[in-house]
């Protein structure tokens, strides 16, 4: 393994030169994607670092504007058509419209959680999880957290634990649960992956 890595990154001069000349190389290019300008423009509306919005877009589509999921989510930010339309997008395959609509939705989610979770960094996790799972499932997890003596306004090791438990019959059939079964590992991993990638992006651009 060592030899393979060494040869790839130190002996292959052609590949090294290609990386060095890339506009995405941190030392010379400082870019993350072809959509950095759109991320910067829309992140200002959210009060976000644009690299966080870029990290979410990568998680959703790997920066592929033509992406379409089996569930019908479309474009860079993988919006459902009805959500995109509600936030002003006509063509979700258009990166400008897609990112603008996603930012509108994220702003709406931020306002939704603001009263219960005033801390900005903490609220961000609830916003991201809601973007992925819908706020109904997150509210279910909060109600379970309260029932079992955990903090409903803290994500890590509190609400996230009960989102994971929503795939277990004991929990998704609990009377406090209103939205039923949910495979919580998807949203759980979604939040963690975006925040981890955001940390990497801050060192690149």
Catalytic residues: 60
Residue in the block written with tokens 């998680």? 59
| Helix, strand, or coil (residue 17) | helix
CA angle 61, 117, 87 (to 5 degrees): 40
**Can you tell me the distance from the alpha carbon of 79 to that of 73, in angstroms, rounded to the nearest whole number?**
5
* Distant-in-sequence, close-in-space partners of 50: CB < 8 Å, separation ≥ 6: 36, 39, 40, 42, 43, 44
* Distant-in-sequence, close-in-space partners of 115: CB < 8 Å, separation ≥ 6: none
């Amino acid at each position: 393994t060592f030899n393979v890595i060494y040869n790839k990154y130190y002996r292959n001069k052609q590949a090294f030169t290609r990386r060095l000349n890339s506009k995405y190389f941190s030392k010379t290019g400082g870019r993350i994607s072809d959509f950095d300008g759109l991320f910067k423009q829309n992140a200002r509306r959210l009060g976000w670092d644009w690299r966080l919005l870029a990290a979410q877009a990568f998680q959703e589509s790997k920066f592929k504007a033509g992406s379409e999921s089996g569930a019908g989510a479309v474009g860079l930010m993988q919006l459902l058509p009805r959500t995109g339309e509600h936030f002003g997008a006509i063509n979700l395959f258009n990166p400008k419209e897609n990112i603008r609509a996603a930012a509108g939705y994220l702003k709406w989610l931020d306002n939704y959680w603001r009263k219960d979770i005033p801390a900005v960094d903490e609220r961000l996790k609830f916003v991201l999880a809601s973007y992925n799972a819908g706020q109904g499932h997150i509210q279910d997890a909060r109600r379970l957290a309260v029932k079992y003596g955990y903090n409903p306004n803290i994500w890590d090791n509190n609400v996230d634990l009960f989102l994971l438990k929503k795939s277990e019959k004991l929990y998704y059939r609990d009377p406090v649960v209103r939205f039923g079964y949910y495979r919580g590992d998807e949203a759980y991993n979604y939040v963690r992956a975006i925040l981890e990638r955001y940390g990497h992006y801050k060192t690149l651009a």
